[in-house]
Amino acid sequence: MAEDVLKPGPRNLITDVEGISVGNATDDKVETGVTVLRCDHAYVASADVRGGAPGTREIDVLSPENLVGRADAFVLTGGSVFGLAAADGAASALSVDGVGLKLSNKGPAIPIVPAAVLHDLANDGDKDWGETPPYRALGMEAARSAGAEFALGSIGAGRGAMAGLVKGGLGSASLMLESGVAVGALVAANPVGSVYMEDGETFHAWAYEIGDEFGGRKPPETRESAEPFPGESRLHMRFEAGANTTLAIVATNADLTNVETKRMAMMAHDGIARAIRPAHSPFDGDIVFAVATAKAELPSDPPPLRHGLVARIAAAASDCLTRAIARAVYEAAR
């Protein structure tokens, strides 16, 4: 692993991790959308919540002390509490395909579909939907459209997202390791904090950029301020509880356990903190899901070697998330 050469996969998307696909559904009239990550099988998964205002579904089922610890799909969605219905739509689409737990010979398949929402209800889209919010239909559409290629920026769960007072969006990135291990990240970036340095143009994530994936801009010569809300930046943040969040999924093809995926989710939060300032505030609902497809086998013995490999994979996933956040904002602005 020490000799790994870090480079993106062929798509520079989370779908470079074999065994997963991503679909987007967007309602431009409402200015909202849904993104669904589908798993080829019920893969080992976990979640870690760090934000102070989360909106989630089926998080506890992934906890290491509980029974299932696996997921068939994940939903990232706009719509705040209304957006949770997107998981109903995705679950229905998967169940029709026979995806999910089968507890007896009777009854439908029961998909495990954890979900997290961001708040995009304050934008200019038409929210006069009465008793039928669009999210269940969008969830079904996103699940059915999942594939290896998907767009970034103002699409899917990133359609109505904001990063401070600039456009947020949907982002993704990947890394391929020479050992055969792949990692990737998918994010809907809607944070209260800023993704930019004091010049308002250079991403905090600039040092992690590979090629010119988010514009190639280098930092200004002036030193970044130690003030957490430097200069005018505090005027460009939305200090409203529940109005902001960064929703992310990190993935690897390594055969991680449920406990190891939990550690990957925890470490991946560092990727948010490197790309957004401040991160994990009381106003954000930041959450990271982690999933392992088990296509690449890691050695079990000796334990210190395996622990080191897990740490290496999780660190790479964290770097992918840093890059994915910058790509989300960069692509939304294009």
Residue 167 and residue 329 in contact, taking contact as beta carbons nearer than 8 Å = yes
pLDDT over 70 at 70, yes or no: yes
Please tell me the least confidently modeled range out of 64-73, 158-167, 178-187, 229-238: 229-238
Reference 85, options 154, 148, 32, 20; nearest CA is 32
Q: What percent of the chain has pLDDT over 90?
A: 75
Q: What would the two tokens of residue 30 be?
A: 């409402």
Band of the pLDDT at 281, cuts 50, 70, 90?
confident
Q: Is 107 helix (H, G, I), strand (E, B) or coil?
A: coil
Q: Tokens representing 46?
A: 């976990």
Chain-centroid distance, C-alpha 47? 11
pLDDT value for 106 = 83
Residue 3 has pLDDT above 50, yes or no: no
CA nearest 184: which of 7, 14, 8? Answer: 14
What's the pLDDT tens digit per position in 147-173? 999 999 999 999 999 998 899 999 999
Bridge partners for 71 per DSSP: 43
What is the rounded CA–CA span in Å between residue 286 and residue 55? 9
Q: Which pair of structure tokens corresponds to residue 75?
A: 């939903």
Radius of gyration of the CA atoms of the chain, in A: 19
pLDDT at 320 over 60: yes
Give pLDDT tens digits for 241-269.
Answer: 556 899 999 999 999 999 999 999 999 99
Q: Give the model's pLDDT for residue 235.
A: 45
pTM above 0.85, yes or no: yes
